[in-house]
Amino acid sequence: MELGKYGVTESSQLSLEVFFYTDTEEKARRLVEDLIALKYNVEVILPEQPNERFLVNGWSPKMQMDEITVVQWTRQMCDLGQSHDCEFDGWGTTPELED
């Protein structure tokens, strides 16, 4: 795992930052409702320009960083995004800021 360079092991517990894009505020808000139900801290960021998409951005609860968990979680996020007509654009994390 690439995060190993930063001291992350399979037993590490980290929050993951999520990024979703969609074309309407309504779709973004419905996705946010589902993510909040999963205990995510998320928000909708409105487009700055007329042709830009809405961004749903936020953080997951902490999870184990083993490969199986992260791959399953990524699939779940892809499926959740698709169910709301939103594109899951990936994730990031900040292991240096975690306890």
Position 15 pLDDT exceeds 70: yes
Q: Which residue has the higher pLDDT, 7 or 16?
A: 16
pLDDT class for 1, splitting at 50, 70, 90? low
The residues that bridge with 91 in the sheet, in sequence order, are 18
Q: What is the DSSP letter of 10?
A: T
First to last CA, the chain: 20
pLDDT surpassing 80 at residue 98: no
**Contact yes or no for 56/20 (Cβ under 8 A):** yes
Q: What is the DSSP code (8-state) at residue 40? A: -
User: Is residue 36 classed as helix, strand or coil in its secondary structure?
Assistant: helix
So what's the pLDDT on residue 97? 57
Structure-token pair, residue 6? 């930063």
